[in-house]
Structure 1
Amino acid sequence: MDFDPNCVFCQKQAADYVMEGNLSVAFWDIHPVSKGHLLIIPKRHVTQIWEVSAKEREALIQMVADAKKLLDAKFEPDGYNVTINSGAAAGQSVFHCHIHLIPRYWNKVTKRVGAIPGQFLVPKARPEFKDYE
């Protein structure tokens, strides 16, 4: 496993993990946009999503699906944003590949956090869309 001693994500410990697999882990975002905001990362230090191996990509996608099930049970959100910021110009601020899994709730005010695309896209009240998955 590649490790960068200067990377804040590489310094995470097992006690920080909400979920752990062979190639990926998930932990709570320290600046959450909403309740349940998770980060999902490869265990190996890679800067960009474009650098992960096929097996790591598969593990990351599986962990997103598994994390969604966990968040569904724990928080019952109304929807999700799944976001990858790749590069400083795209808003990436920690240069260890990571996926934001952001639960969304009807009529909840979100917190402004850096450059997470779509963080303010939750409409106030749109009951006509509540039955769509």
Structure 2
Amino acid sequence: MMSETCPFCAVPPDRIFAETDLTVTINDGFPVSPGHLLVIPKRHFASAFDATDAEMAELWRALRQAAERMQTERGPDGFNIGVNVAAAAGQTVMHLHWHLIPRYQGDQPDPRGGIRRIFPALADYWSPR
């Protein structure tokens, strides 16, 4: 099932990075780092918890393949992988999509805490309190 208003149900060919039977991987339209990708199931649904086992397996394979290709093409020093589920968690496009964000040494002064930095006051879990 596709949605006529969903930007991930009809991706322009020039944004496609890779494709499988069940997924499409695209360049993020608003990248937070060079090479930021989105891995998207072709079937339209909002939550990772609504994916079938086959879709989850294919999403993971697509993420791994994209990371391997990214490693060859851009040589990042690490990755953040994330998914937002529901508006309260920051999801703005209600079609499941996994972010694959390449990270580069020095792209942030102190990257510790990774995705925990969505709540900056809670990001530093390593310092004594």
TM-score relative to the length of structure 1: 0.80
For 1:87, the equivalent position in structure 2 comes to: 86
User: What residue identity is the alignment partner of 1:107?
Assistant: G
Unaligned runs of 5+ in 1: 111-115, 121-133
SS at match of 2:30: coil
Partner of 1:113: none
Secondary structure of the equivalent of 1:64?
helix
1:55 and 2:44 aligned:
no
Distance 1:49 1:10 in 2: 16
Could you list the structure 1 runs, at least 4 aligned residues long, displaced by more than 3 angstroms after superposition. Answer: 116-120
Q: State the SS of the aligned residue for 1:4.
A: coil
User: Deviation string for 1:45-79 (max 9, x for gaps)?
Assistant: 01111111111100000000000011001100000
Q: Identity of aligned pairs, percent? A: 36
Name the structure with the higher helix share.
Answer: 2
Shift of 1:119: 6.6
Query: Could you tell me how far apart the structure 1 residues matched to 2:15 and 2:29 are?
Result: 11
**Could you tell me how far apart the structure 1 residues matched to 2:71 and 2:117 are?**
19
Aligned-partner residue type, residue 54 of structure 1: D
Matched with 1:23 is 22
User: Distance between the aligned counterparts of 1:10 and 1:96, measured in 2?
Assistant: 8
After superposition, the Cα gap between the structure-2 partners of 1:101 and 1:17, relative to the gap in structure 1 and judged at 3 Å, is same
Structure 2: give runs of 5+ residues left out of the alignment.
Answer: 119-129
Match of 1:97 in 2: 96
Give the aligned length.
114
Listed as ranges, the matches of 1:86-125 within 5 Å are 86-109=85-108, 117-118=115-116
- 1:19 maps to a residue whose letter is A
Using the alignment, how far apart are the partners of 1:31 and 1:5 within structure 2? 22
Distance 2:80 2:59 in 1: 15
Q: State the partner residue of 1:70.
A: 69
Following superposition, the deviation at residue 30 of structure 1 comes to: 0.6
Instruction: Give distance in 2, aligned partners of 1:90 and 1:40.
Output: 18
- 1:81–1:118 contact (8 Å) kept in structure 2: no
**Pairwise CA RMSD of aligned residues?**
1.9
TM-score under structure 2 normalisation?
0.82
